[in-house]
A and B are shown apart, each in its own frame.
Chain A
Amino acid sequence: MRDASFANATARAGPLTLDLEAGGRVALAFSTSQEATIVALMAAGIAKATTGSVLIGDYDPRVQSVHCKRLAGFVPHEPLQLDEGEFPRYIAYRAALWNIDATAAQADARLLCERLEGMHEAFSYPLIGALVASPQLIVLDRPQPAYAVQILRAVEGRALFSTHAQPSNAAAFT
């Protein structure tokens, strides 16, 4: 990100300059939850910066959003209300959207479930959903600091960018 900022009638974030190398890890705290969400969405290529530039890999989300979204996996802050029985359906849905092998995705998901043992399903399922597409970058919008150890273990080897509303929460992810 180079002086990347976002502004519309109701929300504003940035400007922010940030470099994240492959396999690196950055956790940033912002003054408001809204700003943290906006920056996370920009970093994942979902929201487009109104000024400045964002590059994910070599791609610009303003013109190559599909390429960016293949590289970045986004995990929202909101918990996912899902029954355990609906989890395979959720993984099949994610596999279909990302056009990845459904059987391999289910196997990866089961493995990740074991790795994330101790983490509440409402928070682990969205992370597993993002990880089955094998993104190079994982963007977490205000993740729960209580699960930092499990999250860091699960995303090992990938670049990790997390946004937070409290500096103490960000510290858990650095």
Chain B
Amino acid sequence: MTGRAFAGMLEARLYVSRRLVAYSCGCAVLVALAAPAGLTAPLFLCSLVGIVIALDQTPGRHRHLDRCEQSAPLFGRELARAKALVPCIAATLATLLFAATQFARGAPDVAATLLVVPPAAIACALTALSATTRRGATRALYVLLAFATSGGAYALAVVAHSYAAELAFCVIVAFLALRQYGETLARFDPI
């Protein structure tokens, strides 16, 4: 896959999801203004943003983009990488805005937010992506897994105070989730 195709897909996906991304960012700012100090609010909110934007990539929601991508000379894993980056960017953007608002408020958790939240939000988004190619109970299971991922990250970072363990957990989950999504897209039946 060329970098141009990758950028083209990314731009098109972000363009069609632009309202959702904008609402998510607005929501992050509002919550950062109102939320008490700590990592609970940014971690769960930004993970939720990642999950929601990931579910917005479900085939059928942007039917024409899906058909273009399916008919383009690209491999499933290449499609997976480009599509996976969309919720990751949205979740990271929401995290950055959350941290910026915290900074503007003079809250003490800015560094912790930037350290802990992006890995968790990205791991959640990538796990939720596998739900987009499934239906029914399996889809619900992957969404639950995504929420469980944010719970696991929270337990490691906030309860156990181990940022390194949280990062390692999120990297492993994200790697496995992206591989799984690529394999699923390669075998995906568009009918």
Which residue from A47, A70, A89, A129 sits with its C-beta under 8 Å from B68? A129
Which residue from A44, A76, A89, A98 sits with its C-beta under 8 Å from B64? A76
Residue of A10, A72, A78, A96 with most partner-chain B CB within 10 A: A96
Are the C-beta atoms of B191 and A97 separated by less than 8 Å?
A: no
In the bound complex, CA of A67 to CA of B189 (Å): 18
B9 interfacial by beta-carbon distance below 8 Å: yes
**Which A residues are CB-close (under 8 A) to B12?**
93
B26 interfacial by beta-carbon distance below 8 Å: no
Which residue from B2, B74, B191 sits with its C-beta under 8 Å from A41? B191
**CB 8 Å contact bits of B141-173 with A (1 = contact, 0 = none):** 000000000000000000000000000000000
B183 interfacial by beta-carbon distance below 8 Å: no
In the bound complex, CA of A44 to CA of B191 (Å): 13
Q: Which A residues, 18 to 77, have Cβ-Cβ distances below 8 Å to chain B? A: 37-38, 41, 44, 46-48, 65-67, 69-70, 72-74, 76
**CB 8 Å contact bits of B1-35 with A (1 = contact, 0 = none):** 01011011101100100000000000000000000
Report the minimal beta-carbon distance from A40 to chain B, rounded to whole angstroms: 11
Interface size on A, residues (CB 8 A): 34
B109 interfacial by beta-carbon distance below 8 Å: no
Given A93-B8, A96-B8, does the pair A8, B189 have CB atoms closer than 8 Å? yes
Are the C-beta atoms of B68 and A94 separated by less than 8 Å?
A: yes
Interface size on B, residues (CB 8 A): 23
Are the C-beta atoms of A96 and B5 separated by less than 8 Å?
A: yes
**Which A residues are CB-close (under 8 A) to B73?**
66-67, 69-70, 97-98
Q: Which A residues, 98 to 133, have Cβ-Cβ distances below 8 Å to chain B? A: 98-99, 126, 129-130
A1 interfacial by beta-carbon distance below 8 Å: no
A6 interfacial by beta-carbon distance below 8 Å: yes
In the bound complex, CA of A46 to CA of B191 (Å): 10
Give chain B's interface residues, CB within 8 Å of chain A: 2, 4-5, 7-9, 11-12, 15, 63-64, 67-75, 189-191
Known: A97-B5, A99-B4, A126-B64. 20 other contacts (CB 8 A): A6-B191, A8-B189, A10-B191, A44-B71, A46-B71, A48-B189, A66-B73, A66-B74, A67-B73, A69-B71, A72-B71, A74-B71, A76-B67, A80-B64, A93-B8, A93-B12, A95-B8, A97-B73, A99-B5, A129-B68
24 contacts between A and B (CB under 8 A): A6-B191, A10-B191, A38-B191, A41-B190, A48-B189, A65-B75, A66-B73, A69-B71, A70-B73, A74-B71, A76-B67, A80-B64, A93-B68, A96-B2, A96-B4, A96-B5, A96-B8, A97-B8, A97-B9, A97-B74, A98-B72, A98-B73, A129-B68, A130-B71
